[in-house]
Amino acid sequence: MLHDQHITPLLQATTLTEVCRWAQELFQLHARLAPRFARPEPRRRALLYLQGILSETARKNGWQLAEHAREGSPDGMQRLLSDAVWDTDGVRDDLRAYALEHLGQESAILVIDETSFPKRGKKSVGVGVQYCGTTGQVENCQVGVFLSYVTARGHTLIDRELYLPLDWCEDRERCRTVGIPETVRFQTKPELAIRMIERLWKAAVPIAWVVADTVYGGNLDLRNWLETHQYPYVLAVPCNEPVGILTRDGQRRRVEVWEVEALLLGAQDWQRLSMSEGTKGPRLFDWAVVPILHHWEDDGHHWLLIRRSLTDPNEKAYYFVFAPKGTTLPEMVAAIGARWHIEEDFENAKDLGLDHYEVRCFIGWYRYITLVLLALAFLTGMCAPERFSPSPPAPSPLPARPAVLAAFRPRSAPSPCTAHLALFIICLSGSGLVVVASLPSKSCQLLPQETSSQGWLILAGPHTSALGFVL
């Protein structure tokens, strides 16, 4: 997974206790899902599916996940996504609860964004010729709208909705072919975002800020919904977004946001602030904030925020802000900085296989995406600093120390990782070979002085699962 300023680097040697804790944590997470499954067989297969997603399997499709689980065909894995009886939305709620437990709820920021999944055919649910953010071109793809939950402890994706283009929703026969329920109707991307945020509101999840780009910030219905439910926001808007201002001579005037600078701002009104830490240090911009009118009155809760590039003063971005009175400019800027974490979440999720699915049906898309998000939440929880309980729980008793086998060379060693933390599950129950972990050039010392000449650690023990760790 990608490191950022919210993830504390692991500077100390990784211990066998920690490795066992990771495996135990996955089993405990899986156990929480039990009420969501009608039968034990799909529940057990869900664990195998999660282990496959967390593994270093190249493609996370039905065939390869079945091979990883040592199954002779992909039928079981495909059935888990299509016909098995389990509560997909309930698992989504469980992954959200898990993320909140590990990341905390203090000063949480909610980020809205979408990502695209390029496709070749025309039969996958929601596929169509539309803008594909992954490639930056208009092409055949599916689009999903996601929420990222960001705190000082870390960030992860917690909800998802599939965008169905209008032509799909108007073709009911096509909808029935892929299992889209009759109750599903066309919704814009901002409407899908409202639908997901409303779930958080019903669950009483406290949110300090909601941030998003212009696709969502330019939508009046979304802004009105957030204000009605008292969610502060910093939302990007296009340069031609209309806004009401109070001019220097006291006149109320409707203008476009790009005109505000010339009408109200001087050189003394700009502040140089960092919105976040980038790979090359602080991401510095010049910022200015101006009160704007809400229903033609200055209520002290609405502002226009302008960001100006240091290298090109003509390059500007505009944001509408809704927040309590007295909110400072640095607080607004810090909220905007959290918006980029969702890009890291997308990259981490796609490293796990978010875009590897080959399902075509409606429920299959939601189930696959939900399981990948659950795996991502698990890794995020393992990467996050210790939970916020005043005293950490005592470690679980360790199993008997396994014997070390002779050196074993895997098919291929992982490539060097300097910016990613990779956790993967290898479950070879019954074979006697349980754990294969690659040690970095600076050894984590999982089992000191018990590695092969190739730097691969091999443990043995029957009916056990464990984690490999690469830093």
pLDDT in tens, 346-373: 999 999 999 999 999 999 999 999 999 9
In the chain, CATH 3.90.350.10 covers 87-387
Q: Is the pLDDT of residue 267 over 70?
A: yes
Quote the pLDDT of residue 1: 53
Q: Give mean pLDDT, residues 229-242.
A: 97
Token pair 């079981």: residue:
76
Three-state secondary structure along 400-419?
A: CCCCECCCCCCCCCCCCCCC
Reading the block at residue 457, the tokens are 């650690």
Quote the pLDDT of residue 13: 64
Q: Give mean pLDDT, residues 435-451.
A: 35
**Measuring CA to CA, how many Å separate 22 from each of 179, 224, 416?**
37, 43, 22
Comparing 3-7, 65-69, 158-162, the range with the smallest average pLDDT is 3-7
Q: Measure the CA angle with vertex 376, ends 223 and 161; round to 5°.
A: 40
A 10 A CB-CB count for 425 gives 24
Q: Using CA of residue 27, residue 31, residue 34, residue 35, what is the dihedral sign?
A: negative
Q: Measure the CA angle with vertex 413, ends 408 and 418; round to 5°.
A: 135
Contact 384, 7 (CB under 8 A): yes
CATH of 87-387, one of 2.120.10.80, 3.90.350.10, 3.90.1150.10, 3.30.200.20: 3.90.350.10
Q: Is the pLDDT of residue 445 over 90?
A: no
Nearest-angstrom CA–CA distance, 349 and 377: 10
Quote the pLDDT of residue 238: 97
Q: According to DSSP H, which parts of 267-361 are helical? A: 329-337, 341-352
Quote the pLDDT of residue 124: 95
Confidence of residue 247 (pLDDT cuts 50, 70, 90): very high
Reading the block at residue 464, the tokens are 């056990």
Quote the pLDDT of residue 415: 33
Q: Give mean pLDDT, residues 327-354.
A: 95
Tell which wins on pLDDT, 396 or 39.
39
Quote the pLDDT of residue 398: 35
Q: Is the pLDDT of residue 386 over 90?
A: no
Phi-psi region of 232 (alpha: psi -120 to 50; beta: other; left: phi over 0): beta
Quote the pLDDT of residue 417: 31
**252-256 and 154-163 as β-strands: parallel, antiparallel, unpaired?**
unpaired
- Decide: residue 134, CB within 10 A, 0-12 exposed, 13-18 middle, 19+ buried: middle
Nearest-angstrom CA–CA distance, 299 and 256: 20
Q: Is the pLDDT of residue 177 over 60?
A: yes
**Measuring CA to CA, how many Å separate 253 from each of 53, 86, 244?**
55, 55, 6
Q: Which residues does 50 contact at the CB level (< 8 Å), separation at least 6?
A: 26, 30, 371, 374, 375, 378, 425
Quote the pLDDT of residue 423: 40
Confidence of residue 436 (pLDDT cuts 50, 70, 90): very low
Comparing 13-17, 176-180, 247-251, 349-353, the range with the smallest average pLDDT is 13-17
Contact 119, 142 (CB under 8 A): yes
Quote the pLDDT of residue 454: 35
Confidence of residue 20 (pLDDT cuts 50, 70, 90): confident
Residue range 37-59, pLDDT digits in tens: 999 999 999 999 999 999 989 99
Q: Is the pLDDT of residue 452 over 80?
A: no
Q: Is the pLDDT of residue 179 over 60?
A: yes
Q: Which residues pair with 469 in a beta bridge?
A: 423
Contact 40, 84 (CB under 8 A): no
Using a pLDDT cut of 90, give the percent of the chain over it: 72
Instruction: Give the torsion through C-alpha atoms of 391, 396, 397, 400, to 10 deg.
Output: -140
Q: Is the pLDDT of residue 437 over 90?
A: no
**Measuring CA to CA, how many Å separate 74 from each of 42, 49, 71, 358?**
13, 11, 7, 12
Confidence of residue 411 (pLDDT cuts 50, 70, 90): very low
Nearest-angstrom CA–CA distance, 158 and 196: 10
For the whole model, what pTM was predicted?
A: 0.81
Q: Is the pLDDT of residue 100 over 90?
A: yes
Q: Which residues does 416 contact at the CB level (< 8 Å), separation at least 6?
A: 441
Q: Give mean pLDDT, residues 428-442.
A: 34
Nearest-angstrom CA–CA distance, 107 and 104: 9
Quote the pLDDT of residue 278: 79
What's the mean pLDDT when you consider all of the chain? 83
Phi-psi region of 219 (alpha: psi -120 to 50; beta: other; left: phi over 0): beta
- Decide: residue 238, CB within 10 A, 0-12 exposed, 13-18 middle, 19+ buried: middle
